[in-house]
Amino acid sequence: MPVLTMAQALNTALRDALAADENVVVFGEDVGALGGVFRVTDGLTRDFGDDRCFDTPLAESGIIGFAIGMAMSGFKPVVEMQFDAFAYPAFEQIVSHVAKIRNRTKGALSVPIVIRIPFAGGIGGVEHHCDSSEGYYAHTPGLKVVAPSTVEDAYTLLREAIDDPDPVIFLEPKRLYFSRADVDVAVGAPIGQAAVRRPGRDATIVAYGPSVTVALESAVAAAAEGHDIEVIDLRSIVPFDDETVMASVRKTGRCIVIQEAQGFAGVGAEIAARVQERCFHYLHAPVLRVSGFDIPYPAPKLERLHLPSVDRVLDCVDRLQWNDSADTRWAVTA
């Protein structure tokens, strides 16, 4: 198995998709000769030609509008928004058209677009370069929202997204672009299936994208304090894998959710609500969240204080009411 960075795994996925299907096209700002800011599209124009991988004007709304037209004409566009917050000018196109065309046409038309977005922080970037915007897309019916945390998942999930008949928001954790791992391209789970990254019996941590690394580091630290923590990697936010998450929480009786985005009305709040509704009689303690603060993204020197950390997760672990026991006499499995 080759050892690849996440950026290289994404590049390999794009290469394999371009080679497998002549209708796949890749475009966006600086994705051609430069190979993208993070070099995810490096060499694609050289190897497949500038009609398959090409640069666009600096106009995100135009990029998505063009992709909609191409998708309605039988192509499979894979477009790059250069940074998370750069995608906001295209938001109206995504919400009003990309997400709704299948429903608007009663299934007569689909727009199999993959919108790649480098997202989240951890790179010392300034405002508009480190947003965690997943909540906007997850709240939009008609979109699938994916966030890999491993090199292998980056390859598999991108190939799955390109093959999907519906539009997919593909969130790539910037801080993980240069993480390395062995990659078996023949192995992978489908979109909508979470993964148990670390088994445990005392509490469940649910995370996605860059927060999975924090969750795993926190589980190791918690083990030194006598707590056996299970870590669930969602892999995709929409569709959401209720079965895996709820099975874990019913086993452990405690749950913490991690996200880099601000806490109010975020994806973590939805996860906490779903766990509370489905696992109430199994819970030994309230579901807790570790998130970014409800502020605009801070300056690079303050970033470490804003992002979820092992210390903040361990503080939540300590608050999980370890001396209490749940009464499961009225527990239900629905």
Catalytic residue positions?
129
Integer CA distances (angstroms), 239 to 94, 143, 235, in order: 18, 9, 10
Q: Which residues of 182-197 are buried (b: 16+ CB within 10 A; e: fewer)?
A: ebebeebbebbebbeb
Buried b (16+ CB within 10 A) or exposed e, 250-285: bebbbbbbbbbbbeeebbbbbbbebbeebbeebbbb
Residue 216 burial (CB count, 10 A): 19
61 touches 79 (CB < 8 A) = no
* 208 touches 233 (CB < 8 A): yes
Which two three-digit tokens encode residue 318?
């300590």
Place of tokens 């924090």: 214
Rounded-to-integer distance, Cα 173 and Cα 49, Å: 28
- C-alpha angle 138-309-326 in degrees, rounded to nearest 5: 75
Which residue carries 């579901």 as its tokens? 287
Tokens matching residue 240: 């959401």
CA 236/CA 18 separation, integer angstroms:
23
Number of Cβ within a 10 Å radius of residue 153 = 24
Q: Is 111 left (phi over 0), alpha (psi -120 to 50) or beta?
A: beta
| Count of Cβ atoms closer than 10 Å to residue 316 Cβ | 22
CB of 292 within 8 A of CB of 306?
Answer: yes
